[in-house]
Amino acid sequence: MSGKTHRVQVGEITCLVLHEGSMAGRGLLQDAFPTAPADEIDAVCQNFGQGDKRPESHMNALFIESGGIRILVDTGMGEVAGPNFGFIPAALQSEGISAGDIDIVFITHFHGDHFNGLLNEDGAPRYPNSRPITTQVEWDHWTDEAVLQAMNAEHAAGLRMVVNAFKDRFSFLNPGDTLAPGVTLVDMSGHSPGHTGLLIESNGEHLLDVVDLLHILPQFTYPHWHFVFDSDGSLAERSRKRMLARAADENLLTLFYHLPFPGLGHITRTDGGAFAFQPV
């Protein structure tokens, strides 16, 4: 399953979904979504094939080439996550793109499954010619010493390695700013303080990358479910409902980092403020 890609041409912009990896679930569904009512958890287990109540784990990063600029959006876990993950470099290579060809690495948020792959196993930058970019809000939060002291030790160690390796090299953009021609940052905060997606548009065609706006398919039916790793579950829920509604109303092809590969599809509104997903 290594090295899988899925090509999407958005007008003049070339996009490749890059399969970082997939793994059978380990934790219980209720533990991953602690605010979900038990009857809804049971309904999901009966209706969505989550028989053992353990959600699968998938990761889909994105490569964008626009105006001659080659962008990698998130870097995955890297090899440290074991044999099921770390396939982004192989996916790029299968398209003839080497790590040295990447001009910009954009980090949507500083959770390990999105930034750990910035460094290779030796602790050196994996994309040596790239400029790392994130949002100011996200950087300021995760480099705050008080935050680092209070958080999970493994996550904090990964952050400290990245901060040390890239201290003066990161640059910062804000929602509404342009990353490359036709590629605009979109605020989707809540999962983390500066969690940011991208709207890619060219010649009237669109791709919306919503990254971690939701984590499993049942959250289309139950968009009020908060994920255990949301930094602000209520804000994440408002962002989720707002962006899913926009994607539905504007019929935008949408990419989800954590849905089964390639994590692409269209969204429709259903009864009671819920949504449905039609994968490509």
Query: Which residue of 20, 113, 209, 230 would you call a contact of Zn ion, by CB under 5 A?
Result: 113
Closest by CA to 259, choosing from 46, 19, 73, is: 19
Cβ proximity to Zn ion, 138 vs 212, nearer residue = 212
User: CB of residue 198 vs Zn ion: minimum separation in angstroms?
Assistant: 15
Q: How far is CA 273 from the centre of its chain?
A: 24
Using CB under 5 A as the binding rule, whether residue 237 contacts Zn ion is answered as no
Closer to Zn ion by Cβ: residue 61 or 200: 61
Q: Which residues on neighbouring strands pair with residue 119, listed in sequence order? A: 125
Report DSSP letters for 45-97, one per residue: HHHSS-TTS---EEEEEEEEEETTEEEEE-----GGG-TTB--HHHHHHHTT-
Query: What part of residues 8-37 is at the interface with Zn ion (CB under 5 A)?
Result: none
Alpha helices in the chain (DSSP H): 29-32, 38-47, 88-94, 112-115, 136-142, 145-150, 153-166, 218-221, 233-249
Contact with Zn ion (CB under 5 A) among 20, 74, 209, 212 = 212
| Smallest distance, Zn ion to C-beta of residue 26, A | 15
> How many residues line the site for Zn ion (CB under 5 A)?
2
- Is residue 209 involved in binding Zn ion (CB under 5 A)? no
Residue 53 tokens read as: 């109540």
Region from 1-9, 111-119, 124-132, 262-270 binding Zn ion, contact rule CB under 5 A: 111-119
| Segment near Zn ion (CB under 5 A); pick from 45-53, 63-71, 128-136, 206-214 | 206-214
Nearest to 215 by CA among 202, 194, 230: 230
- Which residues lie below 8 Å from residue 257, measured CB to CB, with a gap of 6+? 59, 60, 61, 74, 108, 114, 211, 212, 263
Nearest residue (CB) to Zn ion, 66 versus 75: 75
Query: Closest approach of Cβ 258 to Zn ion, in Å?
Result: 6
Which one of the spans 95-103, 116-124, 165-173, 212-220 is the region binding Zn ion (CB under 5 A)?
Answer: 212-220
Which residues contact Zn ion (rule: CB under 5 A)?
113, 212
